[in-house]
């Protein structure tokens, strides 16, 4: 997938389940139970793999824990998809996240550099 991120991508290993997708006009896709494997994260969004086919332009809620102390409760929008064998690689952007939360990514990047 072409790198379109505005911020540095950092490797991460997280597994999430998407239960519901929604659009701003109250269109909702429920009871998905779509497992995803997050493969990278940045201050602007996440990249993940999934066997599920997910529609672009939809949003989902995510709880992302990058450290023992900080869990990031966020909304992400699915903005791109690229087939990769039996899976798809998705790119998502964080929506409406306060810039004050960028310290979470700075601390995570610092920990990665020290390892």
What pLDDT shows up at residue 82? 95
**Cα(104)–Cα(69) distance, integer angstroms:** 10
What architecture is the 10-114 domain classified under in CATH?
Answer: Beta Barrel (2.40)
**Cα(19)–Cα(32) distance, integer angstroms:** 5
For residue 68, is pLDDT > 60? yes
Percent of the chain with pLDDT over 90: 35
What pLDDT shows up at residue 16? 77
Q: Write down the mean pLDDT value for the chain.
A: 84
- Please tell me the pTM assigned to this model: 0.83
* Beta carbons of 9 and 109 less than 8 angstroms apart: no
Domain limits, the chain: 10-114
What pLDDT shows up at residue 57? 94
Higher pLDDT, 12 or 47: 47
Q: What is the pLDDT of residues 5-44, one digit of tens each?
A: 577 888 787 777 788 888 877 788 887 878 899 999 998 8
Starting at the earlier edge strand, list the strands of the sheet with 71-84. Answer: 10-18, 34-41, 45-50, 87-95, 71-84, 59-65, 21-22, 28-29
* Beta carbons of 18 and 46 less than 8 angstroms apart: no
**Cα(59)–Cα(78) distance, integer angstroms:** 6
**Cα(3)–Cα(30) distance, integer angstroms:** 30
At 4, the pLDDT band (50, 70, 90 cuts) reads: low
**Cα(38)–Cα(1) distance, integer angstroms:** 15
């Amino acid at each position: 997938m072409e790198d379109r991120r505005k911020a540095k991508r950092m490797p991460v290993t997280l597994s999430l389940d998407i239960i519901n997708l929604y659009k701003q006009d109250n269109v909702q896709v429920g009871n998905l139970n779509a497992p995803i494997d997050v493969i990278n994260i940045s201050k602007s969004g996440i990249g993940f793999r999934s066997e599920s086919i997910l529609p672009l332009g939809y949003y989902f809620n995510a709880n992302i824990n990058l450290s023992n102390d900080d869990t990031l409760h966020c909304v992400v929008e699915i903005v791109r998809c690229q087939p990769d064998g039996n899976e798809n690689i998705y790119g998502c952007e964080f929506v409406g996240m306060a810039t004050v939360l960028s310290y979470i990514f700075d601390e995570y990047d610092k920990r990665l550099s020290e390892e």
